Amino acid sequence: MHWYEKLNQYFPIEEMKSKEHMETLLKERSNIYHKDEGPHHVMMYAELNDFIFVDYLFVSKNARGQGLGQKLIEKLKKKKKPIILEVEPVNYEDSDTEKRLRFYKRNGFKHAQSIGYERRSLATNEVNKMEILYWAPNNESEEMIYEAMKKTYHLIHTYKDEQFYGESYQPVDEVLTFNEDTSSENILEDV
């Protein structure tokens, strides 16, 4: 099965980029956007000078629980840069969302309490809320993570969006918010 089909079957439509969008990123942004693919996994990520953004991480059902996801995350951790990703909030009717959060917590990721992320899906026209998780090897601040997410939004998420989807995503300041008053002490403790 083609790598895009694996991702498309696993991730909700509102989170998926089009195949054309992703292939264009791999071609035109090849200096920062990468695909790590094997028989049982697909990981799409952007690596910049000061952080890594994991766009998609898929491990096939028959390979789960064998440490493959952890090996992929460890490979990125060796680069000694903050790692950032977006996940769906826990939906207790979908056990995968809870398992995903537990997996990232076990791997040292924190929930960015001060960063809000809500974007209208061009596929469904519904507003989707996402949680920002991050791993900070040098205790990078949530403000740094926020700035990295804004950069990711511009470089990756909205890259040629009008060309691929016939319309543009919302501007970054409507999608991402930063609340300086929010404590960052909670590290996914309620999972």
Q: Which helix (H) or strand (E) holds 86?
A: strand 83-87
Gap between the Cα atoms of 118 and 97, Å rounded: 17
pLDDT tens per residue across span 131-165:
999 999 999 999 999 999 999 999 999 999 999 99
Query: φ and ψ at 146, to 5 degrees?
Result: -60, -45
pLDDT value of position 100: 84
Domain boundaries, the chain: 3-178
Q: What secondary structure letter does DSSP report for 158?
A: T
Q: CB under 8 Å, gap of 24 or more: what pairs does 63-67 form?
A: none
Q: How confident is the model at residue 181 (pLDDT cuts 50, 70, 90)?
A: confident
Q: Give 3-178's CATH code, choosing from 3.40.630.30, 3.40.50.1370, 3.40.50.300, 3.20.20.70.
A: 3.40.630.30
By CB neighbour count within 10 A (0-12 exposed, 13-18 middle, 19+ buried), where does 188 fall?
A: middle
Nearest of 80, 145, 78 to residue 110 by alpha carbon: 145
Query: pTM score > 0.75 for this model?
Result: yes
Q: 137: helix, coil or strand?
A: coil
Q: pLDDT of 3-27, one tens digit each?
A: 999 999 989 898 999 999 999 999 9
